[in-house]
Amino acid sequence: MARELLEGNMAMAEAAIRAGVQAYFGYPITPQTELLEWMAKRMPELGRAFVQAESEVAAINMVYGAACTGVRVMSSSSSPGVSLMMEGLSYIAGTELPVVLIDVVRGGPGLGNIAPSQGDYNQIVHGGGHGDYHPIVLAPASVQEAVDLVVLAFDLAEKYRSIVVVLADGNIGQMMEPVELPEMQPVERPIPDWAVRGCEGRGRRVLSSIYIKPEEEEVTNLRLLQRWQTVQDNEIRYREYFMDDAEIVVLGYGTAGRIAFSAVRQARAEGIPVGLFRPVSLSPYPYAQVKAIAQRAKAMLVVEMNTGQMLDDVLRAVEGKVPVEFYGRLGGVVPYPDEILDEIRRIARGPISIGVDPRQAWMKRLSQLIMN
Amino acid sequence: MQTEIVLAGFGGQGILFAGQLLAYAAMDSGKEVTWIPSYGPEMRGGTANCTVIIADEEIGSPTVRNPKAVLAFNLPSLDKYEPMVIQGGVLIANQSLINRQVQRTDIVHVMIPANEIAEEIGDKRLTNMVMLGALLHKLPVLTLEAIEKTLEERLPARRKHLLGLNSQALRRGAEFAQREPAYSV
């Protein structure tokens, strides 16, 4: 199939359309607006539902309602808008509905700015709305991967009756790259046996997140957890580069991961035995794979565009078996590959500090860098 | 092997379009390519710029600190990006809007009156094509023919009459660059 040059936001929107999304509800926010714009044009053309809601709160509740009918439904937003959606997402999780959300993260907290950031890792991967649930979270590093993951997101959402978040950032949303789009899937699919869309000739179905008796909520929470175990067993995804003989392993996801890839490739050219491990599923997180790397690597370097949020997951998997270092840029600042290359060289030269909090050590280095 | 090109100027100079044209031509030539704009609030009134990376293999970082080539369409862009060009790289500067010389002696550079050349051809909006032509002479990452082919295939029908002018602008830019001695180490 011919490649097309597409901007990330538009490519993700078109991927959702090809995956058979039947309803889109959203509200504009930079750096994600082109996604909604594409939907505004394409969805009515195809006779599908598009609503620009009056707010993100309204949009996510429209998503909630549409999801109850068993159709493929999604929304998209960027950090502050996603914060507004959290109550609705929790209700969706409690009602066990398949929903896809694309979050094109920008610098924060607060109004922040519109630059690319990974500051919402904890919010999306570990936090989110209230209550005991886990969303599936997928992090693309290129426009093609964003397309592929959006399609996968709909399948996983339906398979596990789960929220699936595609966690991108402003770079992924705004850059143009060649992509192969998937074939257009048929919109008509079997109606799930839990969907509510009129009960003529059959018994009543109820979809709700209300379990007023704690004993019943406990059963529900346990069911969610059991389902999550299945997700953990089956849906771990990651990419590895130069890992065969790597003594130093760099870990990064999304944009930080692909920037690290440039640095790793250059370090390899200098003869440094370094590899890259790029988690694609952030939830479920590839703990076992990171743990296995810690058994054989001499040192690890976590690279993020935040203050070390995934770092905590890496440290949890590593269990102190190997020195872990951290490098991050903050608030919408995107690192250049040479910054990461310098870190790799420093680690390769040694000595690597053991027993030092990687975040504390990095804070000192970053303070020097920023103040100069 | 990859080539990074920064195009910088102000809004309305066709910076983003010229970058996209490079990206399309690279894709049509079977290469890997990434086009990324600077989409911050500085786009309003200040410099507008984008980075194009053309490569034979998977592209990592979409931006680099020290690009192989810079097209500076105005003085603020030259001030910002002249120090960034990698040693031995290429700098094309739009003399029409720049009232100083290039300082670096360790890069190849061309000072080209791109606005005037574009106006001679008949449309000031061709400035970006003149600049692109000069670049591709000094940095033959793609052929002029590849750019022309992409224009021909991708220009919408209502713009097809501009093909000849665009082609002329590309070639005039390349010819100018050819006459310029290579100011290189």
Q: Which of A35, A172, A175 best tests the B interface by mutation, with the highest count of B CBs <10 A?
A: A175
Q: Is the complex ipTM higher than 0.90?
A: yes
Model confidence band, residue B185 (pLDDT cutoffs 50, 70, 90): very low
Enumerate domains of chain B plus CATH numbers.
2-179 (3.40.920.10)
> Measured on CA atoms in the order A205, A208, A213, A219, is the torsion positive or negative?
positive
> A131-170: per-residue pLDDT in tens?
999 999 999 999 999 999 999 999 999 999 999 999 999 9
Percent of chain B with pLDDT over 70: 94
Cβ distance of A334 and B27 shorter than 8 Å: no
Element (H, E) at B33: strand B32-37
- Per-residue DSSP letters for A201-254? TS------S---SHHHHHHHHHHHHHHHHHHHHH---EEEES-TT-SEEEE--H
Enumerate domains of chain A plus CATH numbers.
4-234 (3.40.50.970), 239-371 (3.40.50.920)
Of A319-328, B57-66, B176-185, give the lowest mean pLDDT range. Answer: B176-185
Cβ distance of A5 and B35 shorter than 8 Å: yes
Q: Which of B36, B43, B64 best tests the A interface by mutation, with the highest count of A CBs <10 A?
A: B36
Rounded CA separation B159/B114 (Å): 22
Element (H, E) at B90: strand B90-94
Cβ distance of A259 and B60 shorter than 8 Å: yes
Q: Does B16 touch chain A (CB under 8 A)?
A: no
Cβ distance of B41 and A114 shorter than 8 Å: yes
Q: Does B43 touch chain A (CB under 8 A)?
A: no
Q: How far is B111 from chain A (nearest CA, A)?
A: 29
Cβ distance of A175 and B64 shorter than 8 Å: no
Q: Does B154 touch chain A (CB under 8 A)?
A: no
Rounded CA separation B154/A241 (Å): 35
Cβ distance of A178 and B27 shorter than 8 Å: yes
Q: In this structure, what DSSP letter does residue B76 have?
A: H
Cβ distance of B64 and A259 shorter than 8 Å: no
Residues of B in contact with A115 (CB under 8 A): 40
Residues of A in contact with B58 (CB under 8 A): 261
Tally of CA atoms within 13 A in the half-sphere of A122 that contains its CB: 11
List, in order, residues 6 or more apart from A190 with CB less than 8 Å away.
Answer: none
> A14-45: per-residue pLDDT in tens?
999 999 999 999 999 999 999 999 999 999 99
- pLDDT given at position B44: 56
What is the arithmetic mean of pLDDT over A97-109?
Answer: 98
Which alpha helices (H) appear in A235-308, and where do they start and end? 254-269, 287-296
- pLDDT given at position A85: 98
Cβ distance of A261 and B61 shorter than 8 Å: yes
